[in-house]
Structure 1
Amino acid sequence: MKAADAVVFAQRIHTLDPQTTGATALAVTDGRITAVGTPQDIERHRGPGTRTLDYRNATIVPGLNDSHTHVVFGLELARGIQLTDLGPLTEVQRIVGDAARKTKPGDWVIAWGLDPNIFNSTGFNGRLFDDATEDVPMFLRMRDGHSAIVNSAALAAAGITGPVEFPDESLIDVDDDGRPTGYIVEFSALDLVGKAIPQEPFAVRVERLGTLLHEMAGVGIASTHVLDFVDGSAELATALETKGELPVRLRFSPMVNAGAGLAELERIADLQGTGGRRWRVEGVKFFIDGTIDNGSAWLEEPDIYGENNESVWTDPGDFQKALRFFVERGIPTATHAIGDQGVRYVLDALAAAGPDRCKAAHRIEHIETIPDDVVERFAELGVAASMQPIHGTHHTRADRSDNWSVRLGEERASRGWRCRDLREAGVTLALGSDWPITPYDPRAMMADSILRRPVEHPETQPVQPEQALTVLMALEGYTTHAAAAAGLQSDAGSISVGKRADLTVFECDPLSLDPEELPRARVITTLLDGLPTH
């Protein structure tokens, strides 16, 4: 028997493996767990070169996994001024105006996290910022990441003077005279404006990505499912690996955009399995709809404004064909579906794939409002739910006065983020942040999913408290269920012999804390392959 490279000790180890309980030690060989048990059980694995990692009174859990991030795409999404939770409109105008006065020639004012609720009385219109910014182009990305507000100078810089036709449901909004209002919806339209924005140097992007991953590891994240593979992703990850090991394991799933042809599907299929030491391409990401806040989700009945009633795919049948292409090849899929009809349609498409569906793990992202029969359909089909309940706790209000709830009305708003119902139905429920749409700290994410309100605002009324998870369910959402949702349960998710030695070490026991205390639970270290990352 080969001696272990390392033996690891702690007061308690939550293996989340029902076959191994009460563990306080484990052995690591070649980056894999080779033994779990008591210190006496582990001793026979020690050799002359075996390292000892003794975390004494700490608690070890499987390495936390954020099931939905955009760590490369997010570098662009999170450029500039952070406007998260700022308002009212006059305050944002002041902030943007101050930034415009400080720009150099050729610069843009760029910001992100804009709250759509600040436009409740005015409607979405970028001209509202023209006086504050004058001739400085401005790009304010909404907090949903699917829409933006731009001023007249930005429209001019992008050469946009009227309506634009797109192959999907993207939109350059125009007024009754055909003049662009500065409200931009969905990725094809966002890209049209984005091409005019000065790009960051490659070296700056490498540094920003490295900093982000180290900060994520610092709060206990060992891995993340990156639901895109935008241009530059491979180059950035490779550049970081020339400097050392990545502190977070990255699983990239390229986006399949609406209208993608066979050549594009084959290109994405050919990318599967490529990667580096701690990053790889695995799975694909679809969109069936947009977001409720900007009117581009797909509901069974339109919202109160007559919107949110279309698929992102102009012909949803093309989505089914593209999905089937990957299902038949055993390639995992993840589909963004927010509205009840969008979620139902994806489930129907997966059901139509028949036995081929069992070749790989398939999941639906977000799932913001669904009726009872759709909850049951997840369980029947074995499709995983990947959710971000923090979107509900931060972006909606218990009194239903927020934009999301107003659009939906009481009945559909009361079906929001049904985490507990899905779990009790036996559905795999992975949790994540959708960074940079919301912050990535998993401790706050888990706390919010238990409290159903922002953990940092105890005065806030919980939204649908009956959908609260237990602390164990929340931890499973970042470990065992996160692995299962991606089909990685044989490799990750629990502390079991044969799995990767990816671990998160807490100073205290997260399962014994009140949810209000979770965000302050200090992470001593995160380990990948049995090696501390920071």
Structure 2
Amino acid sequence: MSPDLVVLAGTVHTMDGGSSAQAVAVTDGVVTALGSAADVPDWRGPRTEVLDLGTATLLPGLTDGHMHPVSGLQMAAGTDLSAVRDLGELRAVLAETARGRRPDEWVLAWGLDPNVFGRAPVAAAELEDALGGRPALLRLFDAHGALASAAALRIAGVDGPREFDQRARVVCDADGVPTGLLLEWAAVELVAQVAPVAPVAARADELRELLRGMAASGLTGGHVMDFIGDSADVLAAVEADGDLPLRLRFAPWCMPGVDDDGLAELVHLQRTAGRRWQVGGVKFMVDGTIDGGTAWLDEPDAFGESTESFWPDPQAYTRAVRHLAERGIPTATHAIGDAAVAHVVRSLEGVGGGATHRVEHLETMPGELVRRFAASGLVASMQPTHCTLYSQADHSDNWSHRLGDERADGAWRCGDLRRAGVTLALGSDWPVAPYDPRPVMADAQLRRPAGRRDSVPVQPGQALTARQALEGYTTHAAAAAGESGVAGRIAVGMRADLTALALDPLTTPPDEAAESPVLLTVVGGSPVHRAATVG
């Protein structure tokens, strides 16, 4: 049978043990031959599409190891505040957003960096004048907190402290009056559930455009760390009009308080799938964030916070994660603090079932914990731009200040984990950070934002090599999903997910590679993005 597609490129990084090629043939969504340009006339049939990319570099399809493209449509609703750097600018942006709106019309925004408030408490009182008394929900950049205006709290009926199964919190002043700061999912949902949400059809349109943008950046897939609310309905609405531009693998949440019926439902959900998406695993969280004071550290942060697990009974997490693991279900656990990571390692030691288990973020780990993690066989999943965009080498940022100099100097240990032999998937955590994989891979090598050559690298000794960064989006991303047998390499029998860049990411300086044109993105043998210059 003649191939459906043949792609030629000056360089082909197969990531398959040194095998080389300049031409790749694809039939029915699978790679069926590797060879040279001289082989193409023999492969070619009457319906074969041949794409000659000239001097371009062809790679296994890039896969983001941690993202939230469906739920992120709500988390990233409204005005983008990610570029705001001080309180005056924040007030100005919110005033402009609110201008012309009815007094009862909501203001939604996202990407708020707590560093905007300096060392002052994050509180809504500073913003009420700019909002003109309107209801507002401003989500923090880390997606683990939000700031609600007085009107929004009133609509939601939030007038004091609340109790939650998880370590969520309605932050209150000394008199028990809410400041507007809501920490962790359950607290944020008190207000989010009364805020406006776009209908399913509108979010389906947004998701389609978002995924097209991701495909244009070279992504062919993503590991989605949730499956909440009406996600299935949004996906179905997109698929009613055609295939998703990306291949998505979802992990629904397992939250504190889960009972036997809840665990059974998570097992049942593993059968859920569409044409280019599937549920494949379960997501846990054992702590929150360092910026919000909800991480789980061995020692308190500078404000005496981050001392407890997200699960009031950490052993309940252990029982739940082992229950699923022993049934062969992959798990992914959000663990940022050193105590959190250590607990996940203890919980999964010696577990059976044969599935792949992974830990997300791993922001702070002493050297001994790195060694224990490597010995555990767990997979690490990290987001280099969380380090380069939200922390500073001089420790002037909120994250570093909370940790203190010693712990901040021993964090974001991508290099140490790789040197210890750990499988390390890389990703963005969109909408927490931009999804484009090219700057993420560059930042992993530079330890500073790509293109900002005057920035001081954060712990440059933890830099990855160019190949390690690429592996984080290819072979190691596939391993993190338990898919090494079908993805992550260009080899006969593998899925035909391919990314073609104008510049070679293994030889081009990272600042330049971060801006390399994406010439072609192929998912399952079908081009989902091609530059105007391609075929």
2:381–2:426: 8 Å Cα contact kept in structure 1? yes
Match of 1:458 in 2: 453
State the alpha-carbon separation in 1 of the partners of residues 352 and 119 from structure 2: 49
Distance 1:203 1:418 in 2: 42
Q: What CA distance in whole angstroms lies between the structure 2 residues aligned with 1:103 and 1:261?
A: 44
Q: Which amino acid aligns with 1:442?
A: P
For the residue of structure 2 that corresponds to 1:512, the secondary structure is: coil
1:27 and 2:22 are equivalent in the alignment:
no
Distance 1:85 1:456 in 2: 16
Please give the alpha-carbon distance, in whole angstroms, between the structure 2 residues aligned to 1:344 and 1:462: 28
Unmatched segments (≥5 aa) in structure 1 = none
1:119 positional shift: 2.1
Aligned counterpart, 1:11: 10
Q: Say which SS state the counterpart of residue 269 (structure 1) adopts.
A: helix
Aligned to 1:223: 221
Q: SS at 2:514's partner residue? A: helix
Aligned residue for 2:301? 303
Determine helix, strand or coil for the equivalent of 2:22.
strand
Partners of 1:250 and 1:319 lie apart in 2 by 26
Q: Secondary structure at the match of 2:31?
A: strand
Distance 2:480 2:340 in 1: 19
- Partners of 2:420 and 2:279 lie apart in 1 by 31
Q: Write out per-residue CA displacement over residues 249-293 of structure 1, whole angstroms, 9 at most, x where no aligned residue.
A: 111111111221111111111011321111111011100000000
* Residues 471-500 of structure 1 deviation map (CA, whole Å, 9 limit, x = unaligned): 111111000011011111111001011110
Are 1:110 and 1:138, in contact at CA under 8 Å, matched by a contact in 2? Answer: yes
1:29-87 CA-partner distances (Å, limit 9, x unpaired): 11001111223455544333322222222110000000100001100111111111412
**Aligned partner of residue 356 in structure 1, secondary structure:** coil
1:243 to 241, 244, 267: 241
Q: Does 1:515 align with 2:516?
A: no
Q: Which residue of 2 aligns with 1:284?
A: 282
Structure 2 residue aligned with 1:391: 386
- Give the CA deviation at 1:99: 1.8
Q: Whole-Å Cα distance in 1 between the matches of residues 294 and 322 of structure 2?
A: 24
> TM-score, normalized by length of structure 1?
0.97
Q: Secondary structure at the match of 2:380?
A: strand
RMSD value, Cα:
1.3
Match of 1:499 in 2: 494
Return the letter of the residue paired with 1:523. V
**What's the counterpart of residue 54 of structure 1?**
52
CA contact (8 A) 2:322 2:351 kept: no
Q: Is the 8 A contact 1:221 1:526 kept in 2?
A: yes
Output one character per residue of 1:351-386: Cα deviation in whole Å (capped at 9) or x when no partner.
Answer: 0xx2506x1111100000001111112221111110
Greater mean alpha carbon deviation, residues 79-88 or residues 335-344: 79-88
Aligned match of 2:359: 364
Task: Write the letter of the residue equivalent to 2:219.
Answer: I
Paired position in structure 2 for 1:81: 79
Shift of 1:514: 0.3
**Partner of residue 413, structure 1:** 408
Q: Distance in 1 between matches of 2:266 and 2:101?
A: 40
Q: Partner of 1:214 in structure 2?
A: 212
Q: Which amino acid aligns with 1:16?
A: M
Q: Aligned partners of 1:118 and 1:355: how far apart in 2?
A: 44
Aligned to 1:375: 370
In structure 2, distance between residues paired with 1:257 and 1:504: 36
* TM-score of the pair, normalised by structure 2: 0.97
Q: Residue 520 of structure 1: SS of its match in structure 2?
A: coil
Match status 1:481 vs 2:476: yes
Q: State the AA in 2 paired with 1:458.
A: R
The unaligned stretches of length 5 or more in structure 2 are 530-535
SS at match of 1:341: helix
Write the distance in 2 (CA, Å) between the matches of 1:19 and 1:401: 44
Structure 1: 4+ residue segments shifted above 6 A:
none
User: How many angstroms apart in 1 are the aligned matches of 2:381 and 2:306?
Assistant: 21
* Separation in 2, partners of 1:487, 1:42: 33
AA partner of residue 436 (structure 1): P
Residues 145 and 292 of structure 2 are in contact (CA less than 8 Å); yes or no, is this contact kept in structure 1? yes
2:23 partner amino acid: A
Structure 1 residue 120: Cα displacement: 2.9
Question: Does 2:126 match 1:128?
Answer: yes
Conserved 8 A contact 2:103-2:132: no
Aligned-pair distance for 1:182? 0.6
Letter in 2 for 1:137: P
Structure 1 499/411 Cα, relative in aligned 2: closer, same or farther at 3 Å? same
- TM-fit CA distance, 1:238: 1.6
Letter in 2 for 1:5: D
Post-superposition shift, 1:132?
2.1
Q: Is the 8 A contact 2:325 2:351 kept in 1?
A: no
Change in 2 beyond 3 A, CA 1:41/1:382: farther
Alpha-carbon distance, 1:163 to partner: 1.1
Note if contact 2:103-2:133 (Cα within 8 Å) is conserved in structure 1.
Answer: no
Percent sequence identity over matched residues? 50
Q: Hey, what's the Cα distance between the residues in 2 that align with 1:457 and 1:378?
A: 33
C-alpha distance after superposition, 1:414-441 (max 9, x if no partner): 1111001111111001000000000011
Structure 2 counterpart of 1:63, from 61, 64, 67: 61
1:105, 1:44 → 2: CA distance?
70
| Higher mean C-alpha deviation, range 247-256 or range 232-241 | 232-241
SS at match of 1:394: helix
| Cα pair 1:35 1:42 within 8 Å, conserved | no
2:398 matched to which residue of 1?
Answer: 403
The alpha carbon displacement at 1:105 in A equals 5.1
Of 232, 252, 255 in structure 1, the residue corresponding to residue 253 of structure 2 is 255
User: Retained in 2: the 8 A contact 1:65–1:221?
Assistant: yes
Corresponding position of 2:102: 104
> 1:107 touches 1:198 (CA, 8 Å); kept in 2?
no
Alignment correspondent of 2:37: 39
Q: Which residue of 1 aligns with 2:532?
A: none
2:199 counterpart letter in structure 1:
P
CA distance in 1, matches of 2:270, 2:197: 28
Alpha-carbon distance between aligned partners in 1 of 2:227 and 2:297, rounded to the nearest angstrom: 28
Quote the Cα distance in structure 1 between the aligned partners of 2:147 and 2:272.
Answer: 37
Aligned residue for 2:157, secondary structure, equals coil
For 1:430-458, what per-residue CA distance to the aligned partner results, in whole angstroms no more than 9, with x for missing partners?
Answer: 00000000001101101111110111321
Structure 1 counterpart of 2:314: 316
CA contact (8 A) 1:20 1:36 kept: no
Q: Which residue identity is paired with 2:146?
A: A
**Please, which moves more after superposition, 451-460 or 474-483?**
451-460
Q: Distance in 2 between matches of 1:167 and 1:456?
A: 44
Tell me how far apart the structure 1 counterparts of residues 161 and 120 of structure 2 sit (CA, whole Å). 21
SS at match of 2:392: coil
Measure, in 2, the Cα distance between the counterparts of 1:135 and 1:48: 67
Q: Distance between the aligned counterparts of 2:300 and 2:370, measured in 1?
A: 21
Equivalent-residue separation in structure 2 for 1:417 and 1:517 (angstroms): 24
Alignment-derived partner of residue 524 in structure 2: 529
In structure 1, C-alpha distance between the alignment counterparts of 2:271 and 2:434, rounded to whole Å? 29
